[in-house]
Every structure is written in structure tokens, then in C-alpha cells.
């Protein structure tokens, strides 16, 4: 297997983009990534596109071909493949691109992610997202996505006695970071009170515990490490790519508040990279809800089970803390265009490793990690990236 490097990144601003279509945003992200790699589209050998549900959100399937067409690659007939794993679609698209290059099958590959969520009403988007869980035996019983994560939170708080304030601190921290990220959907800091007084969605989770509905696209370009310096002075090496599965329904899990697929993917990634938690300078985790970040930092091994609430409240996951988590603002503040999120996480870590993350820069960042979850933990992708 060949070593693989990221040579270009591009990301649209995230938010409610009424003025832009699905096609507009993925073309914008792809163009930004090509420009970043100082590459022309003719050099691209293949594309992988993470997208959860264009079929429901804009009534369009066959996204691989559509994107190749509008990115100007249809006449060259390159292979373009859509990858779907609910909210982990982007992470899996990145992994497919890495595998394609590592195997020697392709040389220069784009991994993109895109979701246009605001062309439908909130009832339709809520129902579409429920399809990431078990439609027959969770959704039909009246479960919503926030409802499932709320049951994780209730189980967690019952077992480990985390306070409501500690949980809210995740959102406060992520908004602080989002306010320092030009592409973030929310650019304002919030207080504990903002979270604790927001509308109740599913007890104990309130509106400010939940990631928003977002439009956005992101793209990264990967190449063999040995050729990376043809395109960039700061190639970022992919040190590990790992993926794991678990039961589709939350109720079938071994433990409700542990994502075993996160544990498995994390362990595989650390083993592959010959690294441990103390080597990681910052991590982008899948905080679709505040409780999801709490579980993620424990399940990835950055603190002990049951201690993430205190760890967060003590500032250990903030910029300047022991392990900065979600410097981009995370899904909570940067926004969560589901198929694009896994690619945006890679863009953020690459910026940190290049030292171009501006006001949210982690000093001396050398190694970073991404963690992307589908559903309530039925699919997880973990990547470790490093400076060379």
C-alpha cells in the first residue's frame, strides 16, 4: 500500500444558503480545493462524493454523475461514486478516496461531501434524518433523532452523574470556536444561560444542545505522498483510516451510552498509526448533539468513561486545553450539512496542521484526528492526519 497525502482543501461557508443550489455549492467547494492544490481538473482521476439524502432533500439521485458533470469532468468520463452512510457519508467518501490512492488504482482523487437541506420544510428534514436510525422499530414508534440522543444522555447522566451545566458547556465551547471560524454557520459566542433557557426538544436536550440544519459542501484532494510536493509545500499525510459498524438501532447496543463503533474505529486507527491519545494535538469529533461529544471524547480514549463532563467544564477540550476538541466549532456551531461534515472535519485538521487556522490555531499542531458518526453510532469513520 502507498502512503497518501492531502494536497488540497476547499469548503463553502456553511449556513442557510437560500441563494445557492446543490450544484452551486459543490462546484464552489471543488473549485476551491483545486485552486488550493494549484491543480487543473484534468489531473483528477476519480471522485467520491458523500451525500446522505439528495433524493429526499432535493428529489435528485445519481449524485456521482451529476457532480462529475457540473464539475466539468463528464467529457473525460472519470469514475465518480456516491457514498452514503447517513451523517458519516463524508468520512466514508474520504476513506474510499484514500483507499483508491493507497491501492495504486488511482493517483489524484477528489473526496467531496455535500448536503442541501433547506429546500424542504423542517418536518420533511426531521423525517429524512430519522432514516439514519431504524425506520421500522425506532422512527415508527415516535423516535426522533434528538429523542434517540436524549435517551443516550439520560442513560449517561443516570450512570455518571454529569450535571446539566457540564453538558451545556460543550455548546458554549463550540460556539466560542465557531465565532473564530469564517465558514461557521453561527459566528456568535453564547453563555450557559443561552443553552439552559433554550426550547426543550427532547429531555434533557434543548435546542442549543442540537446541531442545526445546514447547507454546505466541502472537498479535499488526495494523492500519493511521493508525488505530493509537486502540488503543495505542506502535504498532510494520512496516518490512519479506520471504519467500524454497530447495530442500526440504539436499543440493540451493548451499552446505550458507549458507541462501540467509535471505540473500535479509534483503536484500529491508533494501532495503524502506532500512536496513542497523547500524540494527538486536536480532534474534530461528531457533536451532532452535546452528549455526542461527551461520549466521543471518552470512547476515543481522551478521558475516562464518566469524566468527560468535568473534563469539558475544566476547559481541557477548549483551545489551550489538554486536547482541543472541535476547533472548527463542530457540528453545533460550524453547522452540519450531513454529507459534507466528514470532509469539513478533514479540512479543519489540515488547516490546523498547516498552521493556517487563524484565531483558532492550536500552537505547534503536528497530528490531528477526525471522528465522523452515522446515525446513533451504526457507522463510524476515524482518520489520523499528520504533518510531514
Interface ranges with other proteins (CB under 8 A): 123, 126-127, 130, 134, 136-144, 146-148, 150-155, 158, 199-205, 249-252, 256
Residue 286 annotated among the catalytic residues of the structure: no
What CA–CA distance (Å, rounded) separates 297 from 222? Answer: 27
Select 28 or 138, whichever has its Cβ closest to other proteins.
138
Select 130 or 361, whichever has its Cβ closest to other proteins.
130
- Which of 87, 210, 295, 334 is flagged as catalytic? 87
CA distance 288 to 292: 6
Minimum distance of other proteins from residue 126's CB (angstroms) = 6
| Grid coordinates given for 100 | 483508491
Q: Which of residues 35 and 203 has its CB atom nearest to other proteins in the complex?
A: 203
Q: For the packed helices 290-299 and 260-273, what is the interaxial angle rounded to 10 degrees?
A: 50
The phi, psi pair for 367, rounded to 5°, reads: -135, 135
Residue 87 annotated in active site: yes
CB of 172 to other proteins, least distance (A): 22
CA dist 227 and 354 (Å) reads 18
Q: How far apart, in whole angstroms, are the C-alpha atoms of residue 91 and residue 263?
A: 16
Q: How far is the CB of 343 from other proteins (least distance, A)?
A: 28
Q: Least distance from C-beta 124 to other proteins, angstroms?
A: 9
Per the residue annotation, which of 336, 347, 371, 383 is the catalytic one?
Answer: 336
Q: By three-state DSSP, how is residue 136 classified?
A: coil
Cell triple for 367: 497530528
Q: How far is the CB of 307 from other proteins (least distance, A)?
A: 20
Question: Which residues are CB-contacts of 227 (< 8 A; sequence separation ≥ 6)?
Answer: 107
CA dist., res. 30 & res. 73, Å (int): 12
| Closer Cβ to other proteins, 145 or 270, answer by number | 145
- How far is 16 from 241, CA to CA, in rounded Å? 31
Which residue's CB is nearer to other proteins, number 177 or number 257?
A: 257
Query: At 78, phi and psi to the nearest 5?
Result: -70, 150
Residues carrying an active site annotation: 87, 336
Amino acid at each position: 500500500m502507498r502512503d497518501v497525502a492531502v494536497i488540497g482543501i476547499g469548503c463553502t461557508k456553511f449556513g442557510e444558503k437560500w441563494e445557492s443550489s446543490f450544484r452551486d455549492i459543490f462546484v464552489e467547494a471543488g473549485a476551491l480545493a483545486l485552486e488550493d492544490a494549484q491543480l487543473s481538473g484534468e489531473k483528477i482521476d476519480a471522485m467520491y462524493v458523500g451525500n446522505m439524502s439528495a433524493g429526499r432533500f432535493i428529489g435528485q439521485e445519481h449524485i456521482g454523475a451529476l457532480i462529475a458533470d457540473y464539475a466539468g469532468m463528464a467529457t473525460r468520463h472519470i469514475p465518480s461514486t456516491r457514498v452514503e452512510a447517513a451523517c458519516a457519508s463524508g468520512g466514508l467518501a474520504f476513506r474510499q478516496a484514500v483507499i483508491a490512492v493507497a491501492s495504486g488504482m488511482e493517483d489524484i482523487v477528489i473526496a467531496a461531501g455535500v448536503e442541501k437541506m433547506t429546500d424542504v420544510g423542517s418536518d420533511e428534514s426531521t423525517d429524512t434524518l430519522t432514516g439514519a436510525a431504524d425506520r421500522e422499530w425506532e422512527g415508527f414508534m415516535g423516535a426522533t433523532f434528538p429523542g434517540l440522543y436524549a435517551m443516550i444522555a439520560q442513560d449517561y447522566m443516570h450512570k455518571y452523574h454529569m450535571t446539566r451545566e457540564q453538558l451545556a458547556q460543550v455548546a458554549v465551547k463550540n460556539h466560542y470556536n465557531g465565532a473564530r471560524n469564517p465558514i461557521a454557520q453561527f459566528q456568535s459566542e453564547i453563555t450557559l444561560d443561552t443553552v439552559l433557557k433554550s426550547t426543550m426538544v427532547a429531555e434533557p436536550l434543548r435546542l442549543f444542545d442540537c446541531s442545526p440544519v445546514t447547507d454546505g459542501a466541502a472537498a479535499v484532494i488526495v494523492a500519493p505522498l511521493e508525488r505530493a510536493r509537486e502540488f503543495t509545500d505542506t502535504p498532510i499525510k494520512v496516518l490512519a483510516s479506520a471504519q467500524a459498524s454497530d447495530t442500526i438501532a440504539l436499543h440493540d447496543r451493548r451499552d446505550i451510552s458507549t458507541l462501540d463503533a467509535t471505540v473500535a474505529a479509534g483503536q484500529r486507527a491508533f494501532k495503524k498509526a502506532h500512536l496513542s491519545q497523547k500524540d494527538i494535538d486536536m480532534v474534530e469529533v461528531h457533536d451532532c448533539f452535546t452528549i455526542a461529544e461527551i461520549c466521543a471524547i471518552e470512547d476515543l480514549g481522551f478521558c475516562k468513561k464518566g469524566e468527560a463532563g468535568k473534563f469539558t467544564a475544566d476547559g481541557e477540550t477548549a483551545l489551550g486545553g489538554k486536547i482541543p476538541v472541535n476547533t472548527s466549532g463542530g457540528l453545533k456551531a460550524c453547522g452540519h450539512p450531513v454529507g459534507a461534515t466528514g470532509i469539513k472535519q478533514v479540512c479543519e485538521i489540515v488547516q490546523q496542521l498547516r498552521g493556517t487556522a487563524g484565531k483558532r490555531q492550536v500552537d505547534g499542531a503536528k497530528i490531528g484526528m477526525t471522528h465522523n458518526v452515522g446515525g446513533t453510532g451504526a457507522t463510524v469513520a476515524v482518520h489520523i492526519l499528520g504533518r510531514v
